[in-house]
Amino acid sequence: MIRLPAIALTGAAALLLASCGGGGGGNGSFVTVPTTPVTNARGTVLSSPPTEIARLSASDLSTLLDATATTKQLKALAGTPKCGIDLRSINYHTIGGQGEATNATAAIMVPSGTDPSCNGPLPIVLYAHGTNIDRTYNIADWIDPNNAAAVEGSVVAAMYAAQGFIVVAPNYAGYDLSALTYHPYLNGDQQGKDMYDALAAARSQLSAISATDSGKLFVTGYSQGGYVALAALRELQANGKTVTASGPLSAPSAISALTDYNFSGWPALGATTFVPLLTTSWQKQFGNIYSATSDIYESQYATGIDTLLPTTTPNAIYPTKLPTLALYPATATPGPLNAQLSIFYGANNLVKQTYLTTAFGDIQGNPCPGNALPATNASLNTASPLACAPLVGFRKAAVANDLRNFLPTRPVFFCGGDQDPTVNFVSTRATAGYFSAKGLPSSSLTVVDLEESTASDAYTSARTAFAIAKAATAQAAGSDPTAQATAVLSAYHASLVFPYCMVSARSYFQGLLNSGA
């Protein structure tokens, strides 16, 4: 049985149908594509045609979505499937974080069926997924309930492929069948190129699977994927490729600001995962993050942390190989900026006080103007946020990989939640502020904060549904205010914001298609 996502939807999802659209015997085979030596040009495939994973009719999908209360809510949010899906996998040539030749895999989801919106030339959605530590992550195999991509892949399929968009969704180098032994996490140059190569490989195979590209291209993703979507936009734009619009959702695009916040007393929920992924990635990219992992990490975690993630044994990581929450010592200086952040400070912490002292000292001595705390309109809406020269390798890498260094030429849709504990919404505000300061017209820049309940626009119903889902999450935790707050905090990024930003982005893209953009 196909498992569909346990996301925090409520009956409020029905409120979105009017504004966000929606409308109506699969069998699958699973084939492992061998990882062969990568010697060919970037963006070419290792084998052709793309491997068939499954063929699902619109009726199949609709039946699956009717199977449980949760999946019915997803159906109400995404809309009754109009199209079936021809689900495929490709294995393509790309590069790693040091420019080395490697391979990666991606999903291609092609709409099928009799509905006019499922046939003929169709728009492409190039989708980037969020952070996942499971090396077997394969978004082409979302119909396998045991695959790490089952939740995210099913949402993408319901939101886009079942509504008439061809989906190209890379797994990234370092995942699935990729020969790369690490993942170039938030390496903007590599991740942009990986997406570019996946799109080129997919487009080269469309005719072989009876799909036709309309020429309309939307680039989107959530969380890490929001960052990767912007990096892909930058790469596509630099190579003269036409992009209709982008939708970076809850994106850590202002990564140097988030890094400085982390060292200044405002860590992110998930930081004990993000920091090791970053140090491994950026050490491969620049070679100056540390001389030894023990420069940064406490002795109980330092050995092997540079090869730990992603992993084939994700359930064995916490709390033995990485702490669940304690990034810094309980007595760390600087300490948490408020009491709620104290959960990231405690016993058996990951990062040494000595390293925190060095990094925070660098922030004070070599500040970046766009990263100031507290954030103000003046610091966020600046055309020169990265006019700084940090000395610490981690901060240098963060500045180099910050995406406030180019100007989109096509419309950009941002979405997130102002209370996000995982990807601080300041990142979205700062990136949008930079684009605005550099001259992106207001007509080409949309920022949706799901917490902005007084706003009245095309996304009001999404905000209303989000608020109801958030309240329901708190209520389900019982009457204790602390338990309620913890439940909302835990669900906020991955389960609450995710579906409502996804459907809002789709509505934005459909609006552009309907307007002839």
The number of C-alpha atoms within 13 Å of 173 and in the hemisphere containing its C-beta is: 36
Q: CA angle 467-473-474, nearest 5°?
A: 95
Q: Show the tokens assigned to 69.
A: 């209360």
- Domains annotated for the chain, with CATH where assigned, are 11-254+403-515 (3.40.50.1820), 270-401 (no CATH)
The average pLDDT across 39-45 equals 87
The residue to which tokens 């104290």 are assigned: 342
DSSP for 403-448, please give it: STT---SS-EEEEE-TT-SSS-THHHHHHHHHHHHTT--GGGEEEE
> Cβ distance 75 to 66 under 8 Å?
yes
* Amino acid, single-letter form, for residue 265: G
> Residues with Cβ < 8 Å from 37, sequence gap 6 or more?
none
Within 10 angstroms of residue 341's Cβ, the number of other Cβ atoms is 16
The pLDDT of residue 88 is above 70: yes
User: pLDDT tens digits, residue range 384-442?
Assistant: 999 999 999 999 999 999 999 999 999 999 999 999 999 999 999 999 999 999 999 99
Answer whether 0.85 is exceeded by the pTM. Answer: yes
Lowest mean pLDDT, pick from 14-18, 110-114, 132-136, 363-367? 14-18
Q: pLDDT tier at 207 (50, 70, 90 boundaries)?
A: very high
User: pLDDT tens digits, residue range 281-314?
Assistant: 999 999 999 999 999 999 999 999 999 999 999 9
User: pLDDT tens digits, residue range 215-274?
Assistant: 999 999 999 999 999 999 999 999 999 999 999 999 999 999 999 999 999 999 999 999
> Cβ distance 64 to 119 under 8 Å?
no
221, 62, 50: which is closest to 131 by C-alpha? 221
The pLDDT of residue 29 is above 70: no
Burial track 463-495 (b if 16+ CB lie within 10 A, e otherwise): bbbbbbbbeebbeebeeeeeebeebbbebbbbb
The pLDDT of residue 23 is above 50: no
User: Which pLDDT score, from 0 to 100, does residue 68 have?
Assistant: 79
The pLDDT of residue 1 is above 90: no
The average pLDDT across 112-130 equals 97
User: Which pLDDT score, from 0 to 100, does residue 20 have?
Assistant: 40
User: pLDDT tens digits, residue range 158-183?
Assistant: 999 999 999 999 999 999 999 999 99
Query: Between residues 4 and 231, which one has the greater pLDDT?
Result: 231
Cα distance between residue 71 and residue 389, in whole Å: 49
The pLDDT of residue 110 is above 80: yes
User: Which pLDDT score, from 0 to 100, does residue 72 have?
Assistant: 87
Lowest mean pLDDT, pick from 70-84, 293-307, 315-329? 70-84
The pLDDT of residue 37 is above 90: no
Q: pLDDT tier at 69 (50, 70, 90 boundaries)?
A: confident
User: Which pLDDT score, from 0 to 100, does residue 118 have?
Assistant: 98
User: pLDDT tens digits, residue range 135-165?
Assistant: 999 999 999 989 999 989 999 999 999 999 9
> Cβ distance 127 to 221 under 8 Å?
yes
